Structure 1
Amino acid sequence: MRGSIKPRASTTAKMRDVVEQHPFFVRFVELVAAQLDGPPSTVEALARQLHLSTSQLHRLLGAVGGEPPAQFRRRILLERAAYALLGSDRSILDVAVDAGYASHEAFTRAFQRAYTTTPSGWRGKPGDPRIASANNVHFHPPAGLVLPTLERDRPMDLITIMTEQHVGVVAQMLNACRGLDTATLERPITITNADTIDEDLTIHLLAARLVDELGIWNAAVANAPYRPHSCDRASIPELENLLDEHGGLFIRHVRDASAGAALGDTFVDATSGTPYFFTYAGMVAHVLTYGAHRRTLLAGALEAQGVSLQEDPLSWPPLRPDGPTLPD
């Protein structure tokens, strides 16, 4: 299991039904979470705490959670071990003991079955620490288990709309750049008394970096290699094609995470050689924050060339009210 598990709205909907109809499952998860650092309760003890017989517990957890109790706990401990291997310099044996294994060899076999790599190989090239499961309950650092968010879906998905608006404005800007000659595209933009996140600013460079940022994060989600600033030498038509690719995929990541109530979920990017942990929400906030900075600079440069843009989110159709509002 490498790469990223995509959150799905159907999984969250299923888990909402599980919690509403089988609240004992939430209690079971809470009991397991409370015992991760100590000896596990026997199945008989768990059943007594849930006011069930042992056979009822096995049967209900198999039907509702998709895993027997012992298998559920082993999976969670392996996920915790996967995080521990990345987030510390502890020995593999220490991590193995914390995960409930008596030997390095037994831990390595179990880890390799789950992640298709050895613990030492994982440290060098990690993937997604979550092991696929029907119940979508996973270990989340620093200390606990997290059920998928169970709140009712909101009628307006603002995060996705803002992301779509960002990509849409970049497309509008690239289209406007088509009408500019090379000298104008490459003319330096001067900013005084303020720092910018890019050096040697030009219209072309800002357009390229807006597209490049989307490609960088798509690669991070997939834990795939990507060369930053690879768009800098692309022509405007090439940037438009790249935006179709990178922008469309990035929107799908955001839409899936938002629909699946998984914006707080963690993914691991090890493309630079060092593993970094990010949440989907953090990724979106980063892209929209620095994207807004670059868009504002690019909008000013294009307006200086007589280009009129509709970049204000208030003019974006999904956000416009039915009644009178500010003009476009």
Structure 2
Amino acid sequence: MTTTDGLTSILHWVQAGLDDPTASPVDLAARAHLSRFHFDRLVAAATGEPPGALRRRLLLERAAYRLTSTDLTVLDVAVEAGYGSHEAFTRAFLRAYGVPPTDVRRRRPLTFHELELPCPSGVHFQPPGGLRLPASREETAMNVLQHLVDHHVDTLTAIIDRAATLDDEALDRPVTVSVETIDEGPTLRLLINAMVTQEEHWLSALRGGDWPDESDRSVAGLAARHAVAGRDWRAFVARTLAAGTLADTFVDTTCSPPATHTLGGTIGHVITFAAVRRTMAIGALRTAGITDLGAGDPRPFLDARAG
């Protein structure tokens, strides 16, 4: 059994205890078919925290998520976290986060990762109801960039391989832009909305939320939505790169069934699909007589930043 396998097995019982915060340490050890002493020793060795401290921290992280993602009262959240009163929960929350629960509810974090409390193991609550283990390796910005290049080269290899099965007529037939894998029946308005919604969608997923409201598709509405979503998406990427957490995972709660993604994979996804939509949108603007955006090539932008 690997270290990760052992940690996963132990955390299975810790996670089960989150749904029953009244369960005693003896109860959790019994469920794992271990003595209290042996269970405590294994948890402490695997996570660097005693079981009680680990569970209290995870319950507080879950409580912080509940405060920002539900309409539950603070007392309801407190009881769910195993506290007998509003006052006891507020004291514990204040010690852990430095602010009372009402402050966290008023100031919604950029992503749920900001609600994670410091710990030696890297094990945190993962919305909507699981635990996140630390990434098995570090994923840097340069790694993600290299992976994107590798993906392009490998995909081009596959395209050429499939093209080899076609005759000359198919190979030389004029191409009508086909974007069935991305958008159906795109218009300039729909392309802009898709790019804005993409920012909103992934930010909501990173917060453990639902699909965003994309009903306002007026140009003014799109501008207002993008002003917020673009700012927050830019900040999320910057913080993720600075923290070196590109290999960390999250559960996308906006889809059914929920799916697990890495932060780096999500950033790469947005860059790639947005590039297709952005190119099409700039082409639509050119057709309408607006040509000052050029081809939307990022090279001059990157060159200028490097210079």
Which of 228, 238, 241 is the matching residue for 1:252? 241
| 1:19 counterpart = 2:4 | yes
TM-score for the superposition, normalised by structure 2: 0.54
Alignment gaps of 5+ in structure 2: 153-185, 194-227, 253-260, 300-307
Where in structure 2 are the equivalents of 1:166-315 lying within 5 Å? 194-196=187-189, 197=191, 216-220=232-236, 249=238, 252=241, 256-258=244-246, 261-264=247-250, 280=263, 281-295=265-279
What is the percentage of aligned positions where both structures have the same residue?
Answer: 32
Deviation at 1:119, TM superposition (A): 0.8
C-alpha spacing 1:71/1:160, structure 2 compared with 1 (3 Å): farther
Which of 131, 144, 147 is the matching residue for 1:145? 131
Larger RCO, structure (CA 8 Å, separation 6 or more):
1
C-alpha spacing 1:129/1:285, structure 2 compared with 1 (3 Å): same
Partners of 2:93 and 2:240 lie apart in 1 by 33
Partners of 1:158 and 1:256 lie apart in 2 by 11
C-alpha spacing 1:308/1:122, structure 2 compared with 1 (3 Å): closer
| 1:73 counterpart = 2:59 | no
Contact 1:93 1:103 in 2 (8 A): yes
2:96 is paired with a residue of what secondary structure?
helix
TM-score for the superposition, normalised by structure 1: 0.51
1:257 is paired with a residue of what secondary structure?
coil
Contact 2:135 2:248 in 1 (8 A): yes
Contact 2:125 2:131 in 1 (8 A): yes
Contact 1:264 1:279 in 2 (8 A): yes
1:136 is paired with a residue of what secondary structure?
coil
Where in structure 2 are the equivalents of 1:12-91 lying within 5 Å? 18-19=3-4, 23=6, 25-91=7-73
Alignment gaps of 5+ in structure 1: 1-15, 167-192, 200-211, 222-248, 267-277, 313-328
Contact 1:19 1:26 in 2 (8 A): yes
Partners of 2:76 and 2:97 lie apart in 1 by 19
Deviation at 1:49, TM superposition (A): 4.2
Partners of 2:147 and 2:134 lie apart in 1 by 22
More deviation, 140-149/117-126: 140-149
Contact 2:123 2:131 in 1 (8 A): yes
Which has the larger share of helix?
Answer: 2
C-alpha spacing 1:279/1:214, structure 2 compared with 1 (3 Å): farther
Contact 1:27 1:50 in 2 (8 A): no
Q: RMSD in angstroms over aligned alpha carbons?
A: 4.5
C-alpha spacing 1:256/1:31, structure 2 compared with 1 (3 Å): same
1:74 is paired with a residue of what secondary structure?
helix
2:83 is paired with a residue of what secondary structure?
coil
Which of 118, 134, 157 is the matching residue for 1:132? 118
C-alpha spacing 1:123/1:293, structure 2 compared with 1 (3 Å): same
Contact 1:160 1:251 in 2 (8 A): no
Contact 1:86 1:123 in 2 (8 A): yes
Deviation at 1:215, TM superposition (A): 5.8
C-alpha spacing 1:220/1:146, structure 2 compared with 1 (3 Å): closer
Contact 2:21 2:81 in 1 (8 A): no
Partners of 2:94 and 2:236 lie apart in 1 by 23
- Report Cα offsets for 1:206-252 as digits up to 9, x if no partner: xxxxxx9976523246xxxxxxxxxxxxxxxxxxxxxxxxxxx4883
Where in structure 2 are the equivalents of 1:87-106 lying within 5 Å? 87-106=69-88
